Amino acid sequence: MLGRRLTVSVLVELCFSASLLFAQSRVTQSATVSASGIVLLTPEDRPIRHAHVELLISSTGWAADTLTDNNGEFNFAGLTPGSYHLTVTAPACERLEGTVTVDGSFETLFLRLYRSQQPPTPRSDSVVSVQELRVSGKAESAFAKGTRMLQQGDARGSLAYFRGALARDPGYYRAYHNLGLANYQLGDTEQAEGNFQKSIELSNGGYAPSQFALAMMLCEKQEFREAERLIQTGLAMEPDSAIGRYFLGVVQFALNRTAEAEKSAHDALWRDANQAEAYILLAKIHERNHNPHAVMAEVAAYLKLDPHGPLENEASKLLQRARQEIDGERVVASH
């Protein structure tokens, strides 16, 4: 589909307040226990997909974490009975922290998050945060080398450097983002999604490229409404992002809002005349509106900017269909 490629040009905590509700059940006796639950958005009780749930034993430092599934559900198995520090985070939601006793005395743990009342703090490549000032020289060096390899097309080789940077600084959200890009290029979409999510969490939802990247992955799954929400969040932080405007247009086109999609594509080109993919989006809009001459003009503009780009094959198909439509119009006109 349009927007399938996450380009490397995109290289690219939430506050405490929530409620816990335990559903009491029978106690089970076993050497280990499990803990399962559902993360819901209050007040509508809508399941939150890919919320990050972590259990920590503070005395030993042992921790386990997981992401919720499409139904907002999660499960931990093989836990030692005892007291755990619980942390739950999700984009644009307030952070939930508390203590939970895991001893088999409940079946389901309901975790309710509230929408954040504070807007995320934008993070961009032109702003150095306090966290980044603390990044060790070795972590920064590994990140820079991994990024160069990724830009040069060696996604597999870059993995070790991003992981090395994260081993030295687990809070390095840009390393998680670029690791997600590398995973994506290697076809490991599940890992990529998790890394983009981690980048969003660590940046307090403030790193727009990760919002855009995760949104495009949701587009591939046809989860367009959630994708649009993420893109709008990213654009609230970086309103002049050409790639963000283009991605918004892709989602609007998928939702059959062609007038909005056309405006977004033009907004992208106004901000960056070299945003070649926007011309293909415009061509597809004109094709849907049965304007083959406009289709040909937009495709020509794309090929002039990026003649052998990732959408070259799609451009050729658009040209072929436009010519066929023009030929058909000529046949009808001749009769």
Is domain 119-205 given the CATH code 3.30.70.20 in the classification?
no
Residue 335 is predicted with a pLDDT of: 65
Fold of 18-114: Immunoglobulin-like (2.60.40)
DSSP secondary structure code for residue 142 in this structure? H
Q: Quick: pLDDT tens for 119-170.
A: 555 555 544 444 444 455 677 888 888 988 988 889 999 999 999 989 988 8
User: What secondary structure does DSSP assign to 159-213, as a single string?
Assistant: HHHHHHHHHH-TT-HHHHHHHHHHHHHTT-HHHHHHHHHHHHHHTTT-BHHHHHH
Q: Is 248 left (phi over 0), alpha (psi -120 to 50) or beta?
A: alpha
Structure tokens belonging to residue 17? 């307040």
190 touches 169 (CB < 8 A): no
Other C-beta atoms within 10 Å of 288: how many? 13
pLDDT tens digits, one per residue of 243-263: 999 999 999 999 999 999 999
Average pLDDT, the chain: 80
Distance CA 262, CA 241 (A): 16
CA distance 46 to 289: 36
In single-letter form, the type of residue at position 296 comes to: M
Measure Cα distances from 190 to 28, 69, 177, 187 in Å. Answer: 34, 12, 14, 9
Phi, psi dihedrals of residue 159, rounded to the nearest 5° = -55, -45
Which residues make up the CATH 1.25.40.10 domain(s) of the chain? 119-205
Claim: this prediction has a pTM higher than 0.85: no
Every domain range in the chain assigned CATH 2.60.40.10: 18-114
pLDDT per position as a tens digit, 267-323: 999 888 888 999 999 999 999 999 999 999 999 999 999 888 888 899 999 999 999
Residue owning tokens 């990213």: 234
